[in-house]
């Protein structure tokens, strides 16, 4: 009898294991967004409660397997983006997108022709802070029609808060390419790097306050 009960217990444990793994996997969803340098946006979203992982990468272009150097030329068509992996029972896709507007300036395109960093930039060139070029454009790449509807509705709603038109590209994701290893978790691994201290840290700190106001910050990030 004892042997029979032991075997039954082992059978039940084995049969439940795959179900548990499937349930855990089902809790993870992804969002692909770009708001300028991916070092900044990556650091910001790592603070969001419910976010499990963030991967910096490239999307929205035509070149296959682009390198960082390729993307920096502006000729591949890619934007620097992040892939946010999150638990939808803790933070929803809508909340991920609503926070996106706080993470950067979605209206930022040059208002007139001019010289920047020794290079001519025609009107309409995407930029974030001191980073100029199409690779730094504001973008949301959706993977389902539901994500598309949520992104468009969020954009319409947030436009009421901005004087200038929102320039964010909202388009279907063709393919996401992870960036080189040295770009991943850049702020945490290079806290004293010049760009991190001058640009990433201030943007992350500002976003952190927004998260605290909205109750969306990870407890360990407070």
Segment holding 144, helix H or strand E: none
- Residues 143, 173: Cα–Cα separation, whole Å: 6
Structure tokens at 61: 């272009």
Q: Rounded to whole angstroms, how far apart are CA atoms 137 and 63?
A: 17
Alpha-helical segments (H) within the chain? 2-26, 38-45, 68-72, 93-103, 145-159, 186-189, 194-195, 201-214
Rounded Cα–Cα distance for residues 193 and 197 (Å): 6
In the residue annotation, 37 being an active-site residue is answered as: yes
| Catalytic residue chosen out of the listed positions 31, 32, 33, 37 | 37
State the alpha helices, DSSP H only, in 68-144: 68-72, 93-103
Active site members = 37
């Amino acid at each position: 009898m004892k042997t029979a009960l032991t075997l039954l217990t082992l059978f039940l444990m084995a049969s439940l294991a795959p179900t548990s793994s499937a349930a855990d996997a089902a809790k993870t969803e992804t969002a692909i967004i770009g708001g300028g340098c991916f070092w900044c946006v990556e650091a910001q979203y790592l603070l969001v409660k419910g976010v499990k992982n963030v991967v910096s990468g490239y999307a929205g272009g035509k070149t296959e397997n682009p390198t960082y150097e390729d993307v920096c030329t502006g000729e591949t068509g890619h934007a620097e983006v992040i892939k946010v992996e999150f638990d939808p029972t803790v933070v929803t896709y809508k909340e991920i997108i609503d926070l996106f507007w706080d993470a950067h300036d979605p209206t930022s395109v040059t208002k007139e022709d001019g010289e920047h960093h020794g290079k001519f930039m025609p009107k309409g060139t995407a930029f974030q802070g001191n980073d100029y070029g199409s690779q730094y454009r504001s973008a949301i790449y959706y993977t389902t029609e539901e994500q598309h509807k949520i992104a468009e509705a969020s954009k319409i709603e947030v436009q009421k808060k901005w004087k200038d038109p929102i320039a964010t590209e909202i388009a279907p994701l063709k393919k996401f390419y992870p960036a080189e290893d040295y770009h991943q978790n850049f702020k945490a691994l290079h806290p004293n790097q010049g760009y991190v201290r001058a640009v990433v840290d201030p943007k992350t700190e500002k976003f952190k306050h927004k998260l605290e106001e909205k109750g969306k910050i990870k407890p360990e990030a407070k």
